[in-house]
Structure 1
Amino acid sequence: MIAPAPNSAFLEGTDIYLHAIAQDDTRGVGYIEFAVNSQVKGRVDAAEGGQPFLDATIPWTVAGGVDRREVSATAYSPDGQQLGSVEGVGVTIVPAESAQPVRLLAPVNGSVFAQGTEVQFHAFAVDPDPDRRVDRVEFRLDDNPPLAAPITIQRDDLATYVTSWPSGTPQTHRIIVQAFRADGTLIGQDEATFAVSDNPLASVSAEMTSLEADQAGQTVELPDSAPTLGAADQPQTAPTVPSGPRGVVTAETGANVRSGPDDIQYPIVDRLQFGQEVTITGRGTDNSGGNWWTVEYETSNGALASGWVYAGLITLNEGDGSDVPLATPTSQ
């Protein structure tokens, strides 16, 4: 999953883009399907018969009230077999009054796009002065002249803007968005960097691509149930090595450890770093069907600790974890 980024915040009523890439050189990718809170919002189909690589983007209007949403993307083969998925990408919908004046919604900072694809530039701007309004928004790519920014939604104090750019030579770019009043006063700006690559999957973390299992010809599927938080974060002179499959955190931003299998219901108790090894001790699902592991790991002071981690942020060294016992959260 390229966009939205985990824990993003968006204005209610605006349009954002759901973006994912998938690759399967053996079976081919038939289509990518996007869902929000387990409800399908759209899909992008590959050419007839499938293709080894598919870069998919769909628009989604943020509606239905101010709350938390879970976004997912699932890739399928041409015959409808699931290849892999990213689930549990949490985004928060906020009222316009709490928004920063100018926010770049897409591309997400650090995104990677396949060479030749259309990159969507999307921003909203709100004038904090209730008696003034946004007159125009400009996107500036690197040191080039501003790109055209057509208005897609406009009201007295807020507007959202979308334009696109055909990606060219593989390289890293900087995009800046600025909002102005009619008298030329700058309201605010936001920026991000993104890369164009001829091999995007090699440049994107496992959390974004979600398709490590494809390369081994297998799909990680977990039965319905719920997983357990261990607690011990106390120093131990000789920690016992836990038994179970080994895994590694493959999300470049790391992974939160929680007291239960849900990123809203249960608090964060610790954080794992990119590349940190863990032992899988249990499995289960959250209220929306997202898959979670219970893990044990060594803390910085040499103690053994345990907790819940979203399954999409960890890659198993071997196997699919189907023989891991079910776990139940002990506290909320």
Structure 2
Amino acid sequence: MSKRALSGRLGLFLLLLLLAACNLNMAPNDASVPITGAPVVQMVSPLPNAAYLEGVPVNIQALISNAGPDIDRVEIVVDDEPFTALPTPNEAGGASFTVAESWPAEGIGAHTIVVTAFRADGTASTPVSVTISVVSQGSQPAQPDDNANDNTAGGPSSDAGNDNSQNDNQNTNSGQVQAQDTPEPTDPPEPTDPPEPTNTPTPNKPMATFTTGVNIRRGPDTLFNPPIGSYAANDRAEILAVNSARTWYKIRYYNSEGWVFGNLLTVSGNVDSLPIDEGPPKPTLTPTPVPATATPNINVNLVAGNISTDPSDKKCGKTFKIYIDVANFGETKSPGGTIAVEDSSNGLVTRTSGSFGEIEAGKTVKVGPIPLTVDTNWGADHTLTLIIDPNNAIAETNEDDNRGSRTYELGRGDC
């Protein structure tokens, strides 16, 4: 073979190797990263150590991440007893999703709620629990009239609801009484006439009589959420103070204190000498953030779509569920985030929050349910507003289309 032919064949061989290497480098990498390991549960609601009146619905909401399409069920257990199992809760197969359920507060005392997610192969998340307390509807005694003494007006005596530690100490020490010398008997004193009775007027204490069922809050604003308890219509409580705008009253609640909105009660007694109290500092609404996965060259645009509720006929004091369509008009996948919910009417605002999982580019997902209970201004128009990513934790190409709202009239219900 000539040197010229050998050199030509060698050049052709090198050219083929170069083309093969280019094809390997240009091959697309469309393989998605599989989800492995156990799912992860994050409890959104209720908050730890929250107090609920017996029979009042407790909204249970949890965020399941590291999920995927093989989630078989989510189980909710209350006090070591199965409460409900939600089958195939992640029909969309997303990396994260939310579940919501309502438990009627049954049984006075502390209760532990546990949420666990299971894959189809039996792999389970680490159970996540929260402990709340349930208070009796009837444990608040009837309020006395204006001639009652200071120890009983507006609520139970100072010993009500405590752990009886003083009585325990007395019982423990009852068997340890030291012997003492018996004193010598003495002659009884001569009887004397009792003093003449004097007419001492009883102070005219200011009292609140509730015209409807009301929530008791830690401070004078609906931002103090969740409520620490409630009173039923026609219940009474002693008024302790009023804010400077005279729109909220501080009242005695069991052997503690709380705040109620002034439009939901009538006042009797002398309120001229009530002290002015502005209450504790207002809290800031901070929905539970969902960690965002860092993505290079993010091009995300989240847009609020249709808002719906179940049931559509909303009633005062009745929990309803909220759904919203969230679209990603961007070119890259959006990480999960939060949704702020505000219900406003005549200056009163009720707030809650929800969350959503990752949304692929060009896709629309229905987020919910987000439970909400509104107990003010029945018979009036209300505006329900949902804000996607309210803290701007997700970088977007347009931050001005994350808000949606609708109006409705709140029925009377239980109020």
Query: Rg larger in 1 or in 2?
Result: 2
TM bucket (normalised to shorter chain) is: 0.3 to 0.5
Q: Which has the higher helix share?
A: 2
TM-score norm. by structure 1 comes to 0.33
TM-score norm. by structure 2 comes to 0.27
Structure with more relative contact order (C-alpha pairs < 8 Å, separation 6 or more): 1
